[in-house]
Amino acid sequence: MFKTINRKNQRYPRAVISPFTTNTINRTNPWVAAWWSAAFPGFGHMFLGRYITGFVLTIWEIILNLKANINLAIIYSFTGQFDQAREVLDYKLFIVYIGAFVFGIWDSYRISVEMNKRSVLADRTDPVVDNFSMSPFSINCFEKRNPWVSAAWSCLVPGLGHVYIHRLATGFFVLIIWALAVYFSRMLVAMHLTLTGAFSEAAAVIDPAYFLFLPSLYGFSIYCSYVYTVEYNKVFKAEQAGYLKANYQSPDSKMPC
């Protein structure tokens, strides 16, 4: 159970809370983390709470993808235009891109395995959770939240689901990238033309190099916000149960069989 003691003295912390974010160590499927790194380098690390590595790999992916015309080559390949794909692809930058791409998949898988071990150790060594943090700029606390509400906000605008659970680093980062990708892909213009029946004009106006970023951003935001809302609720219940047991339950009481 969770005890009310100084978190700094523990070897295996379960969660940390600050005015700007909430981060936890919880068991995850390593293949899920590897999949998100394959879908969009950096997302697997952000999913595991490795913000700095995730942000750097994500920015690296966007810059090299656009410079090497990788998304354009993917579009041409999927439509059978292999000659055009070879023409637009910058092979020098693509080789550099592949190295970081493979590293992201391997490293997120490795980190997930190691964090699963630490999560088990944390649960077995009575980890401590500070359930409240306040500063002049923000207030953050563990509280029970609805995972479907988190997913709904992510469906409306990717990033807002993370803001809802106070995972601000990921939330604002995804929100900014989503806004930039939507603007430069001209998706809203294409949607308007599609709704008015101008399908050929919609196909001509959209920029596929930016548009292909959107599905991964959208799916990651929904999935990650939902999963972490569930995990936060588990930590909230465990912390509350530990506090009540330590302060209100008689040490002589026995649990019913």
* Per-residue DSSP letter, 140: E
Q: For position 151, what pLDDT does the model report?
A: 94
Q: For position 38, what pLDDT does the model report?
A: 93
Read off the pLDDT of each residue in 161-174 and give the average, rounded to a whole number: 90
Q: For position 3, what pLDDT does the model report?
A: 44
220 burial level (CB within 10 Å; 0-12, 13-18, 19+): buried
- 94 vs 26, 68, 101, 119, CA distance in Å? 35, 6, 10, 37
Q: For position 214, what pLDDT does the model report?
A: 93
Torsional class of 49: left (φ above 0), alpha (ψ -120 to 50), beta (otherwise): left
Q: Which of 150, 153, 217, 148 is nearest to 182 (CA)?
A: 217
Q: For position 46, what pLDDT does the model report?
A: 92
pLDDT at 147 over 80: yes
pLDDT at 4 over 50: no
Q: For position 108, what pLDDT does the model report?
A: 94
Strand-pair category, 139-141 with 132-134: antiparallel
- What distance in Å separates the CA atoms of residue 32 and residue 34, rounded to the nearest whole number? 5
Q: For position 106, what pLDDT does the model report?
A: 95
The two structure tokens encoding residue 6:
């100084």
Q: For position 9, what pLDDT does the model report?
A: 59
Q: For position 1, what pLDDT does the model report?
A: 42
Task: Tell me the per-residue pLDDT of 20-59, one tens digit each, with 9 for 90 and over.
Answer: 888 888 888 999 999 999 999 999 999 998 999 999 999 9
- Tell me the average pLDDT of the chain: 85
pLDDT at 141 over 80: no
pTM for the predicted model, two decimal places? 0.84
Q: For position 213, what pLDDT does the model report?
A: 92
* Higher pLDDT among residues 241 and 63, named by residue: 63
Q: For position 144, what pLDDT does the model report?
A: 86
Q: For position 16, what pLDDT does the model report?
A: 78
Q: For position 226, what pLDDT does the model report?
A: 95
* Higher pLDDT among residues 211 and 132, named by residue: 211
pLDDT at 252 over 70: no
- What distance in Å separates the CA atoms of residue 98 and residue 7, rounded to the nearest whole number? 41
Among 57-71, 104-118, 170-184, 233-247, the minimum mean pLDDT is found in 233-247
